[in-house]
Amino acid sequence: MTASERIVQLFTTPPPPGSNLDWFAGGLLAIAADTPAVTIRSVPDPEDPPFGRRLQIEEPGRMLDGVRRPAARVFRPLLARLAVIAAEETGIEFQPYGGRYSLVRPGAGGPVRLDVEFSNTTGSQQLSITRAPVTAHPAHSANGAPSPPKPAEPAGA
Amino acid sequence: MTPAPPPVILHHGTTLHRARSIEANGPDPNYYEPGGRHLPPAEAFSTCFTDGRPCRQGTAETYARGKAANFPNEGGPAILEVEVPAWIVDILLNDPLQAAFANSGEARFEPGFGLEELLAEWPNLTKRVIPI
């Protein structure tokens, strides 16, 4: 399975009874540790007005578009949970609406660093994760640095 | 006769102006943030449980301060406290995904998942705005 397909499977699998968002967070980070880079963005779905959203999942060489409910419902809470995890693990200030951070997770060949950039606002919901060796220079200048403002996405029809 | 379970007290962190508007009119899934209608609507109404469980997606106070920082002309940060009937919260708890959110501390009302029921009951609910 591609990383995109694994993410769709993760997001569409009902979580086990008693679980919380860490079930999704851990699953997503494990997939990201196995993938050079992945970007997930939530965009309005004109085929499911007025509140429907769909996910676009992009990895090197491919894009999976049109992932709808229930997968798209988990995305915003998951963005927030990941940001809290980053604050807990790295000591940075929790940034609810966007930012950058790095996490270390087990990879196939040992620990890897996951450089994360995200936005979680009404106008922009996106998560980009780039895998790097633990000793490599971070993709962003400083852990916890706010992301540059992203242009607002136009609402769907 | 078994007494009804007590209502569930939830907190929503936002700006003072928005908290007062929501208190009076109910959460508006069609709400558009200042910046024009090219942005999508709010969609869901997110709250934190206040029963001592940690809110693992961030506390209501954190979101209130963040929202107030992004919209500094809206009266500062505030918490909207609302007592929601247990039967409405049960709608969330009966859905696997919403239950996972709840286990992480968030009561998230979305279209098809408790939001309609919450809106219908809103005028009857006990609410208050707490500036922070």
Read off the pLDDT of residues A74-122 as tens digits, 9 standing for 90 and up.
999 999 999 999 999 999 999 888 999 999 999 998 999 999 999 998 8
Kindly report, residue by residue over A118-136, the tens digit of the pLDDT: 999 888 899 999 999 988 6
Strands (E), A8-140: 37-44, 53-59, 62-67, 98-107, 110-120, 125-133
Share the mean pLDDT of chain A: 85
- Residues 6 or more apart whose CB falls under 8 angstroms from that of A125 comprise A41, A42, A75, A76, A79, A119
In contact, B16 and B131? CB cutoff 8 Å: yes
Distance CA A153, CA A131 (A): 27
The predicted-structure confidence for B22-65, as pLDDT tens digits, reads as follows 999 999 876 666 654 555 555 789 999 999 999 999 999 999 99
CA distance A117 to chain B (A): 17
Predicted pLDDT of residue A47: 81
Nearest to B111 among A51, A70, A154 (CB): A51
Nearest Cβ partner for A81 among B30, B40, B57: B57
- From the CA atom positions of chain A, what is the Rg in Å? 15
Radius of gyration of chain B (CA): 14
